[in-house]
Each structure stands twice: as C-alpha cells, then as structure tokens.
Structure 1
C-alpha cells in the first residue's frame, strides 16, 4: 500500500530550510553605495510587505537569505539557524566567513521565538519558510517581515532571492551579475555531461522512521536547479505530489525511486542506513553508482539552493553525472 502525505515537518523546515554563520564579509563589488531610493514592496504568500528604504539592522531566518546577503556584501545583524542542520559550527561549507550573531533554535519549534528575534531590534526580518500565517503576523509586529514569496511553495528560488535582495538593498546590478555568473557555471557543467539530458532524478531524505521524504514538484527550487543541469524530475515521484511540493512516501513503495540518478540523505545515520531498506540496492541508480549521498550538514545546498550553494551543489553532482549513459 502506498503511503503518501504532504510533508511540512522535517523535510520542509529542518534539513531543507536551514541557515548559515561565520565571521568577515567578502569585499563589495559593483553598486558601491548600498542605498535604495524608496521603500520596496515585496509580494509574498501571506500578502505583501513594505520594507523601508535602507534597512540597516537585518535579521535572517534560514540559509537562503543569509547566503544571498553575504554574496551581495550586505551586513547581517543576526542569523537564526536550525540546531543540527546548519553545517559544522553553524556554517555551511559554501558560505564565506562573515560578521553576524548566530542563534540556533530547535527544529521542533518550527521558528525562532518572537522575543528572541525582537531583542535585535531589526529594521527588516527576511524569514523565508514560516510554519503558518500566525507566526508571520507575530514577527511582523516586530519589523517588516518577508516569508516565502512564491505562492504555495516552501521556499523561493535562489534567483528570486538574489534579485529581490538587490532591490531591497540597492544592489540591483550586483545581484543581476551574481545570478548571471552562477547560471553560466551551471550551464558549463550541463554542457560537460550531455548524457544527463532528460535523465530522471529523485531527491529527498530518509526519515528516522524509515520513510522517504521526496520533492514531488518540478517547480520546487531544488528541482529547478537539477533541471538546469539537464535532468528531469522522475514522473513516478512527481505524480505523488498532488497535495504539495514535498511528500512522504513509505519504504514499501521504493519502486517509485527507480530514477536514473538519486540524491538522498538520512536524518539519522550515514549512507549505510539505506542498504537496510529492502530493494534499495536493486535500484538502477544505486547499481550504476549514479547516487549522491548528503548529510544534515549539507543537504540544504540542494534542498534550499542559494546563490552561494549552487556552485557547490553542481560540483557535488559531477561523479554521479559521469555515471549516466
């Protein structure tokens, strides 16, 4: 029997939506003066938010906005990260060191405490995924808050985050250049592996209770990244996602994962935990070696791609892409 349900817990708000930390910002280039001439209105899934010109005290929740601001040379006052899912020492491998206060919070909380955010007196809160509109409204009482912008999504594309951040902080030229540069790098990798074109992929995690949390929408930012490399979301997986972008599938339906390439990580344990799932070792991608194993420390590089994580992610894909024929 197939068990499929919309996943808004571990798959959405923990390992796929996590933050960053470190010390020392990269040197700014382009848009030398960081000013926005007027307030910026950002539309999002709970309505719209007006952000005042030139916000100085910026709080981020999750890695997407944090990485984007680091790339654009925008100082971050405080970063809230999910404990245990934000990389070693709460900094991802792809994120340069930069100055900020880093505050871990428990995954079970779903979001940082309102009082914890308020103590930083932010001018703007760049939040991304929030559990519900109630949390958004609470944060909005502290400062203008931007949740996920795309309707019906659990996170935004790295391109949208970069372009919108450029508008908010008066760095449009630098933002556009950053997007173009990363797109060029992804296109170069795609050109190196023409056999990957139109090959199927599945991406997700193995939960603690031995179920698969999988991305089931080609519109999900992780799918869009992989499709830039030439891959296509496996129709068998996509058909499970009628009620959401990311779903839980029971291990009994491992037949749904007969994709040409697999990208997975276990919430508990290492790659060896997959071998204990009946049928895993017989999957085509496992037999061919076209499998990418991630960990809680780096799964966000694919699950919540950012302008900084995408180059890392496509490099991580290379060995598996080379196995495709």
Structure 2
C-alpha cells in the first residue's frame, strides 16, 4: 500500500494500517483468466446459488476464479472483508491489519458473529509475505478492498483461489454491497448474500425516507492530509452519503482522477463549504493543520460540520465510531446509522443553535 494511502484510508490521524500476510494452503487453484462457468452450471456468470454443488466460479478484474469446495480456511488480504465473511457464517483464519482499534480487527458490530471461535491472525499490511501466507494453508484468499497488483494476484493464486476486486472500480473503491455479494458467491451462498445486502440497503433506504431533508443536499468527507484530502465519489464513505440522499459536490467530482480521492492545498480549504462537511479528525487538529481557514466557511459558522476523531479526547484511546465510519460493511453500516444519522440531521436542520455531537465511543 502506498504510504500516502495508509493515512487517508482512515483519516490523517488514524491508527497505522498493518497486516497483509498469513493465509492458508493450496486446497484449490485459481483459474485466473480461465473462461467462466458455462451457462446453467453452478457459478455461471459468477452467481452460484445456495445449496448448489461446487465448483463455483466468480469474476473479478483479473479474470475468473473457481473454488472447488466450500472454503474452510479463508484469509483476508483486503482490509475489511472479514465482516462480510462473518456475516455469512465464515470465520477467517487471518485478516489484514488496518485500524488497529480492536483485537484481531474484529469490531463490536462483528464480535457476536465470531462466537467461540478464536480471533484471526493479524497480518502486516505493509508487506505481502507470500511465504507466511503459504504456511497458513489457505483454501480461499480474498483481496477486494485493496490495491492488489496483478503480479501479486498471480503469486497468491498459486497458493489458493484468490478473489480480487471486480472490474470497473478504483483501488479501495468497490462498493460495500458488491464486496459482500462477491464474497457470498465465492462461498457458494449467493442467495444468503443477496438477502444480507437487501437487509442493509433496507436500513439505508429507511433512514433516507425518514429524513427527506437529506435529499439533494451536498455532503463531503475530508481529512487534513497534504493540505485537505477529499474523499471522492468512488470512496465507500461517500457511497453511504449518496445512499442517504446526499449528493457529492460537482466541483470535486474529478478529485484524485482514478483514485478514491485527492488533496487540495491548505490555501483552498475555504472551498470545502457545503451543506454538510465531515472531517475525519478532531476540531483542534483541523484548525491547527489547516491554519484556521475552514473556520471561515459558512459550513463551520452555521454548524454544518461533523467531526469524527480517530481517538477519544485526550485519552488517545482509539475511537470505535471512527473505525466503523471508515470500515463500511454489512455489519458496520447498521451500527453506524444509529449514530451518524442524528449527526446529519443536526447538521442540516438550518439552526445555528443546534450542536452536532462528537461521538465518544
């Protein structure tokens, strides 16, 4: 992962990303580039049905991957796929370190799904250790929320069937629902995955319906980094805003080009002035890092700002809420909505007297 991305994926003051290694052994082989399953067969068009006999075949940006039996030892090379696995009844044997705010990168919203199973091994995100992964004997490797290169995909595929991000998305930009469905398909649980996605989309739709004041309002998520870093429309946080009815500001639609976001100079901070502005940092850090320029915007003066610090006050204790905000998954989204929707409602109510709470948990 590029050093710059380690900071902005979770906010400039977020805990360091770690972990990209251990997996499981070759209980199968990726077909990387082989033809998809024939129509009508299990896994046709990458859409295996629950109860269908393996093998199943799924499609992704590096071709197609065939899984010959129900995976038992799954390793997450991506940063957040463990939530979808747990939601579908599979406990990964290894995950990749990202936020570091929970043991085993299993957070409160996902912990009940772990049951009595041991926490997964946590891998180092800064180096893809093929040898270490091999010793873990994987039968499925999942690398969707990642910037996996084709050369590394080829290496991993020699160990076990490997799933990369689907076509058509920037690195770190696969929508949460596509991630969940792709994982479900690889597990031979297409219908269960579809039900999971539909349930969470129902939660988002219900929040949007009950807050019509959100619809059409502009909202952006940013963090102080090399000036002000703006998470673009392809970023998973921005995708949640869109699902709630907000629109991404047109002036920054091309920010970062083919990435999930990009920085503007600190001098341009006053351009970050929309109906809602979410900062992944504390008020004090935003002010000091950007020279107080954001405090000159209408969004700040009119109380349309939400702060999501990565640490709780002076305690430096990692914020569970900040972790959930960045880790957009079928398990984290319902947990976040209970806290985030009231913040959004307070930000857009048009009353300067309404204070937007900073969540300390």
Q: Scaled by the length of structure 1, what TM-score is found?
A: 0.80
281-290 vs 98-107, which moves further: 98-107
Q: Distance in 2 between matches of 1:294 and 1:223?
A: 15
Match of 1:29? none
Any gaps of 5 or more consecutive residues in structure 1?
Answer: 1-6, 21-32
Alignment partner, residue 148 of structure 1: 165
Taking the aligned partners of 1:178 and 1:19, their CA distance within structure 2 comes to 28
Does the alignment pair 1:274 with 2:298?
no
The alpha-carbon distance between structure 1 residues 16 and 41, as it changes in their structure 2 partners (threshold 3 A), is: farther
**Contact 1:35–1:53 under 8 Å retained in 2:** no
| Equivalent in the alignment of 2:254 | 239
Shift of the alpha carbon at 1:227? 0.8
- The answer to whether the 8 Å contact 2:267/2:293 transfers is no
Matches within 5 A, 1:105-184: 105-107=123-125, 109=126, 111-128=127-144, 129-155=146-172, 156-184=174-202
Q: 2:267 aligns with which of 228, 231, 252?
A: 252
CA change 1:118–1:212 in 2 (3 A) is farther
Asked if structure 2 preserves the Cα contact closer than 8 Å seen for 1:130 and 1:136, the reply is no
In structure 2, what is the Cα distance between the partners aligned to 1:177 and 1:259?
35
How far apart in 1 are the matches of 2:278 and 2:90? 32
**Is the Cα–Cα contact under 8 Å of residues 10 and 323 in structure 2 kept in the other structure?**
no
The Cα of 1:202 is off from its aligned counterpart by 1.1
Are the equivalent residues in 2 in contact too, given 1:79–1:100 (CA < 8 A)? Answer: no
SS of structure 1 residue aligned to 2:270: helix
Aligned-partner Cα distance in 1 for 2:254–2:328: 23
Contact in 2 for aligned 1:204/1:213 (Cα 8 Å): yes
User: Aligned equivalents of 2:274 and 2:209: distance in 1?
Assistant: 21
Which sits farther off after the overlay, 276-285 or 178-187? 276-285
Give the structure 1 partner of residue 109 of structure 2.
Answer: 94
1:315 offset after TM fit, Å?
A: 2.4
Unaligned runs of 5+ in 2: 20-48, 311-318, 351-361
Shift of 1:79: 1.7
The aligned counterpart of 2:213 is: 195
**CA shift for structure 1 position 17:** 11
Q: CA RMSD of the aligned region, Å?
A: 3.0
Q: CA deviation at 1:307?
A: 0.4
Greater RCO (CA < 8 Å, at least 6 residues apart):
1
When Rg is computed on C-alpha atoms for both structures, the one with the higher figure is 2
Matches within 5 A, 1:30-45: 36-45=52-61
Q: Secondary structure at the match of 2:54?
A: coil
Asked whether the 8 Å contact 2:96–2:124 carries over to 1, the reply is no
- CA shift, 1:285, in A, is 2.9
Higher-strand-fraction structure: 1
Check 1:88–1:166 CA distance in 2 against 1; reply closer, same or farther (3 A cut): closer
Matched with 1:308 is 331
Shift in Å at residue 95 of structure 1?
1.9
CA distance in 2, matches of 1:71, 1:44: 21
Q: What SS is found at the alignment partner of 1:153?
A: coil
Flag the 1:157–1:240 CA change in 2: closer, same or farther, 3 A.
closer
**Is this contact kept in 2: 1:68–1:308, CA < 8 A?**
yes
Deviation at 1:39, TM superposition (A): 2.2
